[in-house]
Structure 1
């Protein structure tokens, strides 16, 4: 299905991956704080393999996890986008929205800004009817982004991640959902009755 389309926001560029992204990507994947809610940090070899899988996702699905660049500086800060989870769960099949940004990019609203653009692509351009997101229960930072982009959480949807052993601190996950109807309601400006009319 080809390479990643290029998406823009007021401050960010969501673009295809470049060879030069791999070194800063490996650095963020090796940062224990960035990877706190993942099972482990990644070696350079593991990080490069993940970048390969991400690029393959665009070829297979036509969408994926875009490399995110700050437009003003050209700095690569991580990824944001859409993926297809491969593990069995009660909400499958699904398309997930996710993000992983370098620690120096935290606190600027970049994850929310990029995620909103990825959602628009998923619903408008890909015709998706629902997009989900999930994370370890304790990942308050990502859960706050999920709330800000309009996703909703039902505790009945929470699940134990099948790729993690029982008793692992990250075993329990929360699931957030957003369907196309709610997304349109959240992003469509309200009609202004009588705007510009004379009494």
Structure 2
């Protein structure tokens, strides 16, 4: 079953599928080292617009088998510009696929400092828990203070550094559905 074009709204964002027409913005986002340096086990910025087109196609395919998951564009309601990506995806480790689900975000520098990462991740967590997930994790490089701060604003618990994911030391954060529901009155 294909995912709907609009996955969920937030107060200031439409979280939707990436479109081929977003190629230039995706390239602008992922060709920046200040973004790419935090991504993947061997960070690399896009060098050609064709890489952005391939990225968009991969995003559109993610979650095709299970609509609970995906990597989605964050379209700002005030400008219509794509601010970045939010993802909710099962993680893999050295043994292969796991049932551990990760929330993550990548934002264009022109959208940093506005709370969009926290807002989008909060929406992704709400979607995941509404779809039946019992727990969601986030992993960030230990020196990525901006993303660690997003995790803390979300109320995620720092469970320490692990090398289980992506073959490198990462700080892992965790949110359970029970903790999410308990904190619902505070949001």
Interval of TM-score (by shorter of Structure 1 and Structure 2): 0.7 to 0.9
Structure 2 counterpart of 1:73, from 79, 95, 110:
79
- 1:87 to 2:88 alignment: no
Cα deviations by residue, 1:42-92 (Å, 9 ceiling, x for unpaired): 233333322222211121221212210011211111111301223337x94
**Structure 1 segments (4+ residues) deviating >6 Å:** none
In the alignment, which residue of structure 2 is the partner of 1:181? 178
Alpha-carbon distance in structure 2 between the residues aligned to 1:163 and 1:120: 25
- Return the TM-score normalized by structure 2: 0.88
C-alpha distance in 2, partners of 1:61/1:162?
22
Give structure 1 stretches of 5+ with no counterpart. 165-170, 191-199
- Specify whether residues 52 and 33 from structure 1 end up closer, same or farther in structure 2 by C-alpha distance, changes over 3 A only: same
Match of 1:139 among 144, 167, 176: 144
What is the 5 A alignment of 1:1-199?
1-4=1-4, 5-38=6-39, 39-43=43-47, 44-62=49-67, 63-88=69-94, 92-124=98-130, 126-155=131-160, 158-160=161-163, 163-164=166-167, 171-188=168-185
Q: CA deviation at 1:12?
A: 0.8
Distance 1:58 1:6 in 2: 11
- TM-fit CA distance, 1:98: 0.5
Work out the CA distance in 2 between the residues paired with 1:122 and 1:162.
Answer: 20
TM-score, length-normalised on structure 1? 0.83
Aligned length: 181
Q: Deviations over 1:7-61 (max 9, x none)?
A: 1111111012211112111111110112222312123333332222221112122
Structure with more of its chain in strand, by fraction = 2
CA distance in 2, matches of 1:112, 1:70: 14
Change in Cα spacing, 1:162 to 1:123, as seen in structure 2 (3 Å) is closer
After superposition, the CA RMSD in angstroms is: 2.2
Q: Which residues of structure 2 form unaligned runs of 5+?
A: none
d(CA) in 2 for partners of 1:49, 1:161:
27
